[in-house]
Structure 1
Amino acid sequence: MSLASDSELAGAAKRGSDRAFEQLARRHSAALRTFLRGVCRNQALADDIAQDALIRAWRRLDQLRDENAFRSWLFGIGWRLASEERRASGRRAKREEDWVETQAQTLAEGLSAEESLALEAAMQTLSPDQRACISLCLAQGWSHGEAAVVLDMPVGTIKSHIKRGRAKLLAALGGEDER
């Protein structure tokens, strides 16, 4: 590892030295990853965010005001990226929840409020793939082939998801398979 200080390396990196930035990245990446793993509680995600933070730092070196503060500046970038990911993850989860609710409502048309709530709860027990197949094929009347194209799955997989998902729904709702 170089004997140069962060300040010296950051100054050289700002002047275009790839080698200086590489040394800074090597010097701080392990600590950055450790910090982000604690924040994210997901090693792979933390490693991805750390890599993104290093790339963003490289691209935005001109925004580094205090070359003595490279480490805190880099960790700040990592923190902001992790925060953005948490917000995005929350939005994805909300969209998934809304989608499941909409699909359950479609399936529940003509059912009582109690039956509709039971169906919605039962849909939550299915895997995302099963929910998607049930929703498209049973609730919306799509063919297995159409669902296979949209979901990018083989037709046999669509049929398996429907069969297993339908069985789980029937079991959860206390129904019997009429086939």
Structure 2
Amino acid sequence: MADSAAEARIDQALVARVLAGNDRRAFEQLLRRHQGLVRAQLRRLVHGDHAAADDLAQETFLLAWRKLGQFRGDARFATWLYRIAYSCFLQAYRKKSWHEESADDEIIHQLTAPSHTNDLHVDLERAMQRLSPAEQTVLLHCVQLGLSHEEAAYVLTMPVGTVKSHALRGKAKLKLWLAPWSDAVNEEQA
């Protein structure tokens, strides 16, 4: 994988091409470069609802196309895009509550849960659901998407200190709740 600075330069060049002449092919390249992570971000935010994530991703890219002239380059293009995606999610969230799964949804999750070899993954997912919504969102952006605290603050429109606090508290809770897994690994290694 190319380094972050090289990736940013490629994105900047593509943005410049789009802005210089409404270059749809350059925008398609930007879309291909970032659609996977944007969809992953949105799938996580909508608790695995792939159709909703795809709809929100489409809305995100339409907004990005319309607002590309507002991209100032203060943040990486990917960070700017994550912010648009998060804003689209928040607007949709106010209309539909993905956080309130029905009993049928829970049964489906249990039936399709990974096998015994992935019990840690299941426990981690359950532990993540126990975190506050702010802690979940911050950890999604900082850990899973690999954003810095500053980038996550930009995307989430939160002060950097608040992002750091949520990340610290969320990680501490996960460490406590998943301690039996750590103990089991230590016993196996002994």
Q: TM-score, normalised by structure 2?
A: 0.44
Q: Which structure would you say has the larger RCO, counting Cα contacts within 8 Å and 6 or more residues apart? A: 2
**Structure number with bigger Rg:** 1
TM-score by length of 1: 0.46
